[in-house]
A and B are shown apart, each in its own frame.
Chain A
Amino acid sequence: MSKTQVNMTVNGNAVSALAEPRTLLIHFLREEMNLTGAHIGCETSHCGACTVDLNGKSVKSCTVFVGQAQGAEITTIEGIAQEDGTLHPVQEAFREHHGLQCGFCTPGMITRAWRLLQENPKPTEEEIRYGISGNLCRCTGYQNIVTAIQAAAADLSIKEAAE
Chain B
Amino acid sequence: MNAHTSADTERVEKLQGLGSSRRRVEDARFTQGKGNYVDDIKLPGMLFGDFVRSPYGHARIKSIDKKAALAVPGVVAVLTAEDLKPLNLHYMPTLAGDVQAVLADEKVLFQNQEVAFVVAENRYVAADAVDLVEVEYDELPALVDAFRAMDGNAPLLRDDIKDKKEGAHGPRRHHNHIFHWEEGDEASVNRALADAEVTVEELISYQRVHPCPLETCGCVASMDKVNGKLTLWGTFQAPHAVRTVASLITNIPEHNIRIVSPDIGGGFGNKVGVYPGYICAAVASIVTGVPIKWVEDRIENLTATAFARDYHMTGRLAAKRDGTITGLHCHVLADHGAFDACADPTKFPAGFFNICTGSYDIPVAYVGVDGVYTNKAPGGVAYRCSFRVTEAAYLIERMIDVLARKLDMDPAELRLKNLIRKEQFPYTSALGWEYDSGDYHTAMNKALEAVDYKTLRNEQARNRAAFDRGETRSLMGIGIAHFTEIVGAGPIKNCDILGLGMFDSCEIRIHPTGSATARLGTISQGQGHATTFAQILATEIGIPADDITLEEGDTDTAPYGLGTYGSRSTPVAGAATAMAGRKIRAKAQMIAAYLLEVHEGDLEWDVDRFQVKGNPEAHKTMKEIAFSAYNQAIPGLEPGLEAVSYYDPPNMTYPFGAYVCVVDIDVDTGVTDIRSFYALDDCGTRINPMIIEGQVHGGLTEALAIAMGQEISYDEIGNVQGGNLMDFFLPTAVETPFWQTDHTTTPSPHHPIGAKGVGESPNVGGVPAFSNAVNDAFAHKGLTHTQMPHDHWRVWKTAQRLGLTG
Contact = CB atoms under 8 A, between A and B. Distances in A.
Check if A and B associate. Answer: yes
Interface in B424-450: none
Contacts of A91: 31-32
A105 B214 contact: yes
A138 B702 contact: yes
Given A138-B213, A142-B701, A102 B739 contact: no
A26 B35 CA distance: 16
B726 interface: yes
A129 B23 CA distance: 24
A62 to B, nearest CB: 10
A90 to B, nearest CB: 8
Given A42-B724, A87-B31, A95-B24, A130 B734 contact: yes
- Looking at A103, A105, A106, A129, which has the most chain B CB atoms within 10 Å of its CB? A103
Of the four ranges (under 10, 10 to 19, 20 to 34, 35 or more), the interface on chain B belongs to: 35 or more
Contacts of B694: 98, 101, 139-140, 144
- Looking at B33, B34, B264, B724, which has the most chain A CB atoms within 10 Å of its CB? B33
A39 B38 CA distance: 11
Contacts of B690: 98
Interface stretch (B9-17, B83-91, B523-531, B665-673): B523-531
Contact of B264 (A46, A102, A143): A102
A145 interface: yes
Nearest to A106: B30
Contacts of A76: 33
B37 A22 contact: no
Interface in B703-744: 724-726, 730, 732-734, 736, 738-739
- Looking at A20, A49, A102, which has the most chain B CB atoms within 10 Å of its CB? A102
B738 A102 contact: no
A140 B263 contact: no
B594 interface: no
Interface string A108-127: 00100000000000000000
Contact of B265 (A37, A78, A104, A134): A104
Contact of A94 (B31, B214, B724): B31
Interface string B264-288: 1110100000000000000000000
Contacts of B265: 39, 41, 102-104
A98 B688 CA distance: 12
B215 interface: yes
A54 interface: no
A119 B37 CA distance: 31
A132 interface: yes
Contact of A101 (B31, B212, B526, B725): B526
A101 B733 contact: no
A61 B362 CA distance: 55
Contacts of B698: 101, 138-141
Q: Is the interface of A mostly helix, strand, loop or mixed?
A: loop
A159 B702 CA distance: 37
A31 B124 CA distance: 12
A110 B733 CA distance: 14
A136 interface: yes
Contacts of B106: none
Interface string B666-710: 000000000000000000000000110111011111100000000
Interface string A4-48: 000000000000000010110001001100111111111110110
A36 B82 CA distance: 37
A160 B739 CA distance: 32
B298 A107 contact: no
A49 B40 CA distance: 14
A22 B123 CA distance: 12
A74 interface: no
Contacts of B173: none
Contacts of B35: 37, 103-104, 106
B42 to A, nearest CB: 7
B354 interface: no
A103 B730 contact: no
A100 B30 CA distance: 8
B475 to A, nearest CB: 25
B297 interface: yes
Given A87-B31, A138-B266, A140-B698, A146 B724 contact: no
A39 B213 CA distance: 13
B214 A41 contact: yes
A129 B701 CA distance: 14
Given A76-B33, A91-B32, A100-B30, A143 B268 contact: no
Contacts of B738: 143
Nearest to B730: A136
Contacts of B268: 138
A154 interface: no
B19 to A, nearest CB: 16
B237 to A, nearest CB: 12
Contacts of A135: 732
Contacts of B71: none
A140 B214 CA distance: 12
B153 to A, nearest CB: 39
Contacts of B297: 42-43
Contacts of A96: 23
A132 B731 CA distance: 12
B42 A31 contact: yes
B28 interface: yes
A40 B124 CA distance: 15
Nearest to B216: A41
B733 A142 contact: yes
B39 interface: yes
Nearest to B123: A27
B409 interface: no
B298 A42 contact: yes
Nearest to A143: B697
- Looking at B30, B37, B265, which has the most chain A CB atoms within 10 Å of its CB? B30
B185 interface: no
B467 to A, nearest CB: 28
B725 A47 contact: yes
Contact of A133 (B24, B525, B733, B739): B733
B525 A102 contact: yes
B138 interface: no
Contacts of A153: none
Nearest to A129: B733
A77 interface: yes
- Looking at B42, B123, B733, which has the most chain A CB atoms within 10 Å of its CB? B733
Nearest to A142: B733
- Looking at B698, B724, B726, which has the most chain A CB atoms within 10 Å of its CB? B698
B299 A36 contact: no
B215 A102 contact: yes
B410 interface: no
A133 B732 contact: yes
A95 to B, nearest CB: 4
Contacts of B725: 42, 44, 46-47, 136
B27 interface: yes
A141 B701 contact: yes
Nearest to A140: B698
B733 A146 contact: yes
Nearest to B527: A101
Contacts of A42: 297-298, 724-725
Given A101-B526, A133-B734, A38 B33 contact: yes
24 contacts: A23-B124, A30-B39, A36-B33, A39-B39, A41-B214, A41-B216, A43-B297, A43-B298, A43-B724, A44-B725, A77-B32, A95-B24, A98-B694, A100-B27, A101-B698, A102-B214, A106-B35, A132-B732, A133-B733, A136-B725, A136-B732, A138-B268, A138-B698, A141-B739
9 closest cross-chain pairs (CB), A and B:
A37-B33, A102-B526, A104-B265, A103-B30, A141-B697, A77-B33, A141-B701, A101-B526, A46-B725
Interface of A: 1, 20, 22-23, 27, 30-31, 34-44, 46-47, 49, 76-78, 80-81, 87, 91, 94-96, 98, 100-107, 110, 128-130, 132-146
Given A136-B730, A138-B702, 4 more contacts: A37-B32, A101-B695, A104-B266, A133-B733
